[in-house]
Amino acid sequence: MALIFYSKDDLDRFELWSQALKQELPDLEIRPWDAPGDLDEIEYALLWKPPSGILKKFARLKAIFSMGAGVDALLSDPELPKDVPVCRMVDESLTQGMIEYSVLHVLRHHREQPFLDELKRAGTWDAFASPLASERRVGVMGLGVIGGAVAEALANLGFRVSGWSRGPRNISGVQCYHGPNSLPHFLEDVEILVCLLPLTEETESILNSELFSQMPKKSCLINAGRGGQQVEEDILDALESGQLAYVTLDVFQEEPLPPDHAFWKHPRVTITPHNAAVTAAQSATKMVAENIRRLASGKTPLNEVNLKAGY
Ligand code: GLV
């Protein structure tokens, strides 16, 4: 029984993941990408952002595990082995990380901290009163494991939270909308929008001029979903026109963000290097191990991706 590991991300060290997995499954052989051994012995693949076509050489794969919550890179592979379950990562490290990131940046925008930073740079003392959270409408797009937990955390802080997702959801303290027809209604009074959607055909380029124009003027955007969801020219135009006041982005159409991109120097854009939430090997390997045990005893794996829906 062997597992092949692939990640080019410095955050995902092979030694860390293999040690953590070994603790859970001592009989599992964990092989790095450049030393796969006999390919027919590979039954599992644990990967982050694999290039297309790299899995087709493993003829005996029983499951493909994503190291991240988003499986867009995996599913965009036209040669992804057929009839092999793909599982996305669901782990407390990702959920907690995304709660922290969203709460931090919602509060920053709510309390107008970027504007206060501008005042400081200008040497201006201007004491204004911020509204209370109960007077601030925050919208969360994507209400899965992560988005649902974020919406709940924001509601617990007292914000007026609404959420939008593909299918119906019920979250205590959150006004839930679903489906494309309800999107304008969801957006109409959202002052701070948090995007945590998966990247699918339906969500590609969803953060565009038309969407921004349905929000109140001077609203704020936080995107920790995927860069493919944002039309970056439209974000710059909306900042220019004042439709968007401030923006926080963790994801970009091209990553790393190219050095000459206008976002780097834009005074009203906060950038983080796609590290809003990082999967922690120690906890995440528990789900991978559990899935290997389940598959070995003929059960269906947890967190299996719906290939049709794309997440
Ligand atoms: C990070 O981007 C993830 O998908 O987990």
Token duo for residue 276: 């809003």
Q: Is the peptide bond before 256 cis (omega within 30 degrees of 0)?
A: yes
Cα 189 to middle of ligand 1, angstroms: 29
Number of other residues whose CB lies within 10 A of the CB of residue 308 = 6
Residues within 6 Å of ligand 1 by CB: 68-70, 89, 94, 279
Nearest CA to ligand 1 atom 1: 68
Question: CA–CA distance from 98 to each of 102, 106, 254 (Å)?
Answer: 6, 12, 21
Token duo for residue 7: 């990640």
C-alpha neighbours within 13 Å on the C-beta side of residue 19? 8
Torsion 193-217-177-308 (CA) sign = negative
CATH numeric code, 2-91+280-296: 3.40.50.720
Q: What is the pLDDT of residues 95-111, one digit of tens each?
A: 999 999 999 999 999 99
Q: Give bridge partners of residue 174 from the DSSP assignment.
A: 161
- The residue whose CB lies within 8 Å of the most ligand 1 atoms, and thus the one to mutate among 65, 87, 279, 305, is 279
Predicted local distance difference test score (pLDDT) of residue 12: 79
Topology (CATH level 3) of domain 92-271: Rossmann fold (3.40.50)
The helix/strand/coil state of 161 is: strand
Q: What is the pLDDT of residues 172-227, one digit of tens each?
A: 999 999 999 999 999 999 999 999 999 999 999 999 999 999 999 999 999 999 99
Predicted local distance difference test score (pLDDT) of residue 282: 95
Predicted local distance difference test score (pLDDT) of residue 2: 97
Share of the chain above pLDDT 70, in %: 100
> Which atom of ligand 1 is closest in space to residue 67's alpha carbon?
5
> Which atom of ligand 1 is closest in space to residue 89's alpha carbon?
5
Q: Give bridge partners of residue 139 from the DSSP assignment.
A: 162, 193
Cα 225 to middle of ligand 1, angstroms: 8
Question: CA–CA distance from 180 to each of 164, 174, 186, 187 (Å)?
Answer: 9, 18, 10, 11
Cα 81 to middle of ligand 1, angstroms: 22
> Which residues, given as ranges, of the chain have pLDDT below 50?
none
Annotation says 274 is catalytic: yes
End-to-end CA gap in the chain = 27
pTM: 0.96
Residue by residue, DSSP assigns 184-197 as: HHHHTT-SEEEE--
Catalytic residue from among 105, 108, 226, 293 = 226
Domain 92-271 in the same topology as domain 2-91+280-296:
yes
Q: What residue segments make up the domains of the chain, in order of their start? A: 2-91+280-296, 92-271
Cα 165 to middle of ligand 1, angstroms: 18
Token duo for residue 120: 């400081």
Predicted local distance difference test score (pLDDT) of residue 36: 96
How far is it, in rounded angstroms, from Cα 193 to Cα 137?
Answer: 9
Annotation says 110 is catalytic: no
Give the distance between the most distant pair of CA atoms in the chain: 68
Catalytic residue from among 136, 274, 293, 294 = 274
Number of other residues whose CB lies within 10 A of the CB of residue 262 = 12
Cα 70 to middle of ligand 1, angstroms: 5
